[in-house]
Structure 1
Amino acid sequence: MIELTKYICHRIPERSFFIKGHQFPVCARCTGFYISIFSYAIYAMLFSIHYEVYSFLIGFILILPAFVDGFTQYLGIRESNNILRLLTGLLGGIGLMIIAKTIKILFLLPYII
C-alpha cells in the first residue's frame, strides 16, 4: 500500500508526520486534504448544503492558503512547517470539495437531468 501512495503524494520525510517511527503514507498537506475531503463528503451527505455561484469563489479562497504556502516554499522564498502544511491542507480540502460540489450541482446536473 505504501508503494502506491507515491503516485498521489511526494512523501518527503521531513514534510510528513510520523507515529512511533512510522511515516504517514502521505505528507502533512495531503493528510490535511484527505481528512477534510473525507469529512466534508460525510457532512454533505448528512446535511443539506445550498450551493450558489459564489460558492465557487469561497472554495477558491479556501484553496488559496495551500497554494501560497506550497508555491512560496517551492520557490525557496520561505520554509513551511508540518502544522502549517496540515492546516492549509485542511482548508484546501474543504475548498476543493466546495468547488467540486458547486460544479456538479450548478453546471453538470442541469444537463444530465
Structure 2
Amino acid sequence: MIHELLHFFGKAICHQIEDRSLLASGKTLSVCARDTGIYLGIFSTFIYLLLVKRNQIITIPSIKVSFFLLLFMVPMMIDGLGSYAHLFESNNERRLLTGLGFGFVLPYFMFPLIFGNALDPRSKPVIKNTFDILIPMFFCCLLGSLVYWNYITYYMIDSLIIFTIIIWFSLWTSLLFTSIRNSFLKWLFSIMSSLAFLSILSLLHSYILP
C-alpha cells in the first residue's frame, strides 16, 4: 500500500520509465533518475537554508552569483534536450548527476521569496560566502552517491523524495494564501491544495499514459 501510494504521487511529475529509474532494495524508485537528482538537490539546499537562514532577512542571490548558479542547471538542460531529440544517448548516472546540479540551485531563489522577506530593503543576498554553496553541494553529492550505490533502503529514500515533492509544491502553493495570517491555516491549505493538485496530475497521467 505504501509502495503504491508513493508511486501514485511520483506519477504526478514523472514518466516512471523503469530503465530510466534507479533501484533501492531491489525496487524501482517512484521517479526517474533525473527527477531523483532534482528533488534530492532541492532537499539538500532547502534543509541547509532552513537550518541556517530561517530567521534572517534575505533576498535572492546577487546577479553575479545567480549567473554562476545557473551554470549548474545547463548540463541537465543539454542532457535532457539532447536525449529527447535523439542527438545522443543518456544514462542514469548522467541523469542523476545533472539532476542534482539542477535541483540544488532552485531553493536559493525560492527560499527568500517564501521565508526571507525578499522585498525588504534591509535584506541581504541569501548567499553570503562560499560555505553557503559548498555545504549544500557536499550534502547533495553525498546523498546522491548513497542513493546511486544503493546504501539507503527503498522506503526511506522513496519517502524522502515524495515528501520533498509535496513540500516543494506546497511552498509554491503557499503564495496563493499570503492573505491568511494564521500560519497553521495557511500551511494547512497549502499542503492540502498541493496534495489535491498532485493527485489530479497523477490521475490525468494514468488516464493519458496508463
TM-score w.r.t. structure 1 length?
A: 0.82
**Does 2:115 align with 1:92?**
no
CA shift for structure 1 position 21: 3.4
**Does 2:16 align with 1:16?**
no
Q: 2:43, 2:104 within 8 Å by CA — same for their partners in 1?
A: no
**Does 2:32 align with 1:27?**
yes
Aligned length: 110
The separation in 1 between residues aligned to 2:111 and 2:40, in whole angstroms, is: 17
Give deviations 1:51-93, integer Å, cap 9, x for gaps.
Answer: 3122321232111111100000000011111011100011000
The separation in 2 between residues aligned to 1:99 and 1:10, in whole angstroms, is: 26
The separation in 2 between residues aligned to 1:55 and 1:75, in whole angstroms, is: 31
The separation in 2 between residues aligned to 1:55 and 1:97, in whole angstroms, is: 14
3-state DSSP class of the match of 1:110? coil
Q: 2:46, 2:111 within 8 Å by CA — same for their partners in 1?
A: no
The separation in 2 between residues aligned to 1:110 and 1:18, in whole angstroms, is: 43
The separation in 2 between residues aligned to 1:40 and 1:4, in whole angstroms, is: 22
3-state DSSP class of the match of 2:71? helix
- The AA in structure 2 aligned to 1:109 is A
Q: Residue in 1 aligned with 2:49? A: 44
**Does 2:78 align with 1:68?**
yes
Q: Residue in 1 aligned with 2:182? A: none
Which protein is bigger by CA-based radius of gyration?
2
The separation in 2 between residues aligned to 1:34 and 1:46, in whole angstroms, is: 18
Q: 1:55, 1:99 within 8 Å by CA — same for their partners in 2?
A: no
Distance verdict in 2 for CA 1:86–1:80, change over 3 Å: same
Q: 1:55, 1:98 within 8 Å by CA — same for their partners in 2?
A: no
The list of structure 1 runs, each at least 4 consecutive aligned residues, that deviate by more than 4 angstroms after superposition, is none
Structure 1, unaligned runs of 5 or more: none
